[in-house]
Amino acid sequence: MSFQGVDHVGVGVGDIDEAIAFYGRHVGFDRVLFDWTGELTSVEAFAGRAPHARVAMLESSSATPIGPGRVKLVQILDSDDPPPVPAGQAWGEVGVCEICLHVRNVGEVHAALVAAGCEELMPAQSSAVVPHDIALDISYVADPWGTKLELIEWTGLWRSLPGPARAEGVNHVAFGVTEMARTRAFYERLGFTELLFESVDFFDPMAPWYEAPWYDPGNLPAQHMTMPMSSQGAAIEPVVLDPPGPDCRGEWGHLGPMDFGIRVASIDAATAELRADGIEVHGEPQTIDLGGGREWRTVAFAEPDGNYVSLVEARY
């Protein structure tokens, strides 16, 4: 199979130099794999144009098998201001809603991020997910650009290597969908075949995020969450809200989390595989020459709810 799990989550920022410094110094993404400026023809189907943008791909030197994913920072350069965070976004609406980082010692990492300027959204606490009652520690903060960062340590599944409290890399990306069965079937075709958990209970600590006029705080939506995993890369966490919230895909490149990429061994083979399976691929892969024999190739494709998802093949 060509597909190798989630490679990265894309985040829109207003000042990419500040974001590179912040994510490197405070969030652990201390390796800049590339920093490129140009026209992104590969996202024309999402953006309605080929936006002129600066893109930086960051990796953590502390990445682990359970926190392997990267962060892609994007600053739109062909407009006066970056597209805003989608109005009404709480968590679980159609669109990308969070980046989850696997960490060692949630409480200490959480406190350090708040001290560095992140907004506290949920204090550190312990929980467990069904049906296997897997224990975890969890908290939430928001970065200076509004990105919800979930901090998680799967204490019942994985023990981090010894060392100081730290973020290790992206564990999963959460995004809203409208039909769980359809989404599960679609992403199983892309290699996300192992289900870590499934929950239909509302996670009460998230309640303050659901604000009027988009939600009735006294009658919050049901949350149906699952976490399909691939044998490689980071996982996905599709979410269905019932009743559904607003469409929060927003304009491509908007502030906060807005897209994700699935790693492939061969983008040409993977593109052909998608098309043979009846999945629409938006054009041909864009190849970005990074110099020194390095390149980044990417192509967007259509997923059932129109979330912004691409294939990625890279040689760094």
Helix (H, G, I), strand (E, B) or coil at 267: helix
What pLDDT was estimated at residue 1? 57
Q: Is residue 114 predicted with pLDDT exceeding 90?
A: yes
- Backbone region of residue 117 per phi and psi (left: phi > 0; alpha: psi in -120 to 50; beta: other values): left
Task: Return the amino acid letter for 41.
Answer: T
What pLDDT was estimated at residue 66? 94
* 57-66 pLDDT, tens digit each: 999 999 999 9
Q: Give the domain ranges of the chain.
A: 3-315
Mean per-residue pLDDT of the chain: 96
* 273-296 pLDDT, tens digit each: 999 999 999 999 999 999 999 999
pTM over 0.95: yes
* 187-199 pLDDT, tens digit each: 999 999 999 999 9
Task: Return the amino acid letter for 190.
Answer: L
What pLDDT was estimated at residue 132? 86
Q: How many C-beta atoms surround the C-beta of residue 146 within 10 A?
A: 19
* 3-59 pLDDT, tens digit each: 999 999 999 999 999 999 999 999 999 999 999 999 999 999 999 999 999 999 999
DSSP string, 112-153: HHHHTTPEEEEEEEEEEETTTTEEEEEEEEE-TTS-EEEEEE
Rounded Cα–Cα distance for residues 96 and 173 (Å) = 7
CATH class of this structure's domain 3-315:
alpha beta
Rounded Cα–Cα distance for residues 31 and 46 (Å) = 28
Instruction: Identify whether the C-beta of residue 129 lies closer than 8 Å to the C-beta of residue 235.
Output: no
What pLDDT was estimated at residue 158? 77
